[in-house]
């Protein structure tokens, strides 16, 4: 028997041979509560821009209109979250702690974005049998790498890209990002693209809404935050 078969609580051979019978209706209980969101990010000249909506949902119920989906990991490193809130916030805390420890060991030198992404990927991959229900965009700017955007999946996949979108409204955002993105964008033009991308999702995706939260992470200086009510 494969070890994966032991981890299926209802349909496994182990459960079948045990004489314990569980109603399959319980297997669908976890589908009752779903989260929806729109997160997006892109690279500019010497900067990255991340944006999210502010709505958190439980199935068709709007659980929050002020959800925080944009998190600072380090001054030069930020992350957006989508999916299960508890899983995502746990990973934010873990990554923030691990990257802080790394920088303390290296004379406060900023950790590379791709190194932080690999660290997060390893955590996700190690738990792939009981995966964190998340979709993450990790982005930042370092001297060696320049601006970097990483789309990190629940099983630990890493996709480096010039732009990315994650969440229930990502299909609508990608349409805008594909059409509008250019190399070496100015920060102002990049912000406009992110605003349009998330707005398009808010208009068409019922699980996204209640404003746009934007962060501009630059090569030098603190990140700039902006909230746009919709």
Q: Delimit the domains of the chain by residue range.
A: 1-31, 34-228
Q: Is 66 in the active site?
A: no
- CA quadruple 178, 179, 184, 186: dihedral positive or negative? negative
Question: What's the rounded mean pLDDT across residues 157-170?
Answer: 96
Catalytic pick among 32, 35, 37, 80:
37
Give the global pTM.
0.84
Question: Quick check: 218 pLDDT over 90?
Answer: yes
Q: What CATH number matches the domain at 34-228, 3.60.20.10, 3.30.70.3040, 3.40.1350.10, 3.20.20.70?
A: 3.60.20.10
Give the distance from CA 76 to its chain's centroid.
17
| pLDDT at 30 exceeding the cut of 90 | no
For residues 199 and 169, give the distance between their C-alpha atoms in angstroms, rounded to a whole number: 10
pLDDT of the residue at 230: 81
* Distance set, CA 191 to CA 111, 172, 216 (Å): 25, 17, 8
Q: What is the pLDDT of residue 60?
A: 86
Mean pLDDT computed over 203-212: 94
8 A C-beta contact, residue 122 and residue 156: yes
pLDDT digits (tens, 9 = 90+) for 59-101: 889 999 999 999 999 999 999 999 999 999 999 999 999 999 9
How far apart, in whole angstroms, are the C-alpha atoms of residue 128 and residue 15? Answer: 21
Locate the DSSP E strands across 68-162. 70-74, 77-83, 134-142, 146-152, 158-161
Q: Which residue has the higher pLDDT, 179 or 28?
A: 179
84 CB-side CA count, 13 A: 14
Q: Is the pLDDT of residue 215 over 60?
A: yes
Residue 111's pLDDT band (boundaries 50, 70, 90)? very high
**Class of residue 60 by CB neighbours under 10 A (exposed 0-12, middle 13-18, buried 19+):** exposed
Query: Residue 14 above 60 pLDDT?
Result: no
Contact 83, 135 (CB under 8 A): yes
């Amino acid at each position: 028997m494969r070890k994966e078969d032991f981890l299926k609580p209802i349909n496994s051979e182990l459960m079948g041979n045990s004489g314990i019978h569980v109603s399959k209706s319980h297997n669908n209980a976890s589908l009752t509560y779903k989260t929806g969101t729109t997160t997006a990010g892109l690279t500019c000249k010497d900067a990255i821009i991340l944006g999210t909506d502010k709505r958190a949902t439980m199935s068709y119920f709007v659980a929050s209109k002020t959800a925080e989906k944009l998190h600072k990991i380090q001054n030069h490193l930020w992350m957006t979250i989508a999916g299960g809130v508890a899983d995502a916030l746990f990973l934010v805390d873990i990554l923030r702690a691990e990257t802080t420890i790394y920088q303390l060991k290296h004379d406060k030198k900023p950790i590379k974005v791709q190194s932080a992404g690999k660290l997060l990927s390893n955590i996700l991959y190690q738990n792939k049998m009981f995966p964190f229900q998340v979709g993450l965009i990790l982005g930042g700017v370092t001297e060696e790498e320049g601006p970097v955007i990483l789309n990190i999946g629940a099983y630990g996949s890493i996709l480096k890209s010039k732009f990315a979108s994650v969440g229930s409204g990502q299909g609508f955002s990608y349409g805008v990002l594909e059409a509008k993105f250019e190399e070496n964008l100015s920060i102002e033009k990049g912000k406009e693209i992110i605003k349009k991308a998330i707005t398009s999702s808010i208009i068409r995706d019922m699980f996204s809404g209640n404003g746009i939260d934007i962060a501009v992470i630059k090569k030098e200086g603190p990140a700039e935050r902006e909230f746009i009510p919709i």
